[in-house]
Amino acid sequence: MGRLLREAMTSHNECRVAMLSEIEFAETARVLKTLAREAGHDERAVIDQLARHGLDAALGVMSSIDRTATSEAYQRHRARWRAGMNRPGVH
């Protein structure tokens, strides 16, 4: 019985980690789409790079000139998005 309980807990924790990873990806994608739209970049290309190669590659699509400015803009947008999600009544 103890083994079954440990296996159930392990499975639960793995599912929780996977769910948090999906939430993080969705949040990152929303922020990148907004940033790409505001900067006049192709949103699909940015999201494609995010899905295939990660955040650095997605930021690289938008930052052909100044990668630091793009990374800072991403962090600002993400902070604003999270602050908006933490307000009462926003789900």
Assessment of whether the complete model's pTM goes beyond 0.75: no
The pLDDT assigned to 88 comes to 45
The model's pLDDT over 29-80, given as tens digits with 9 standing for 90+, comes to: 988 898 888 888 889 998 999 999 988 888 888 776 456 677 777 888 888 8
The pLDDT assigned to 82 comes to 78
Residue with the bigger pLDDT between 35 and 85: it is 35
The pLDDT assigned to 48 comes to 92
* CB-count exposure of residue 72 (10 Å: 0-12, 13-18, 19+): exposed
CA–CA gap between residue 54 and residue 4 (Å, rounded): 36
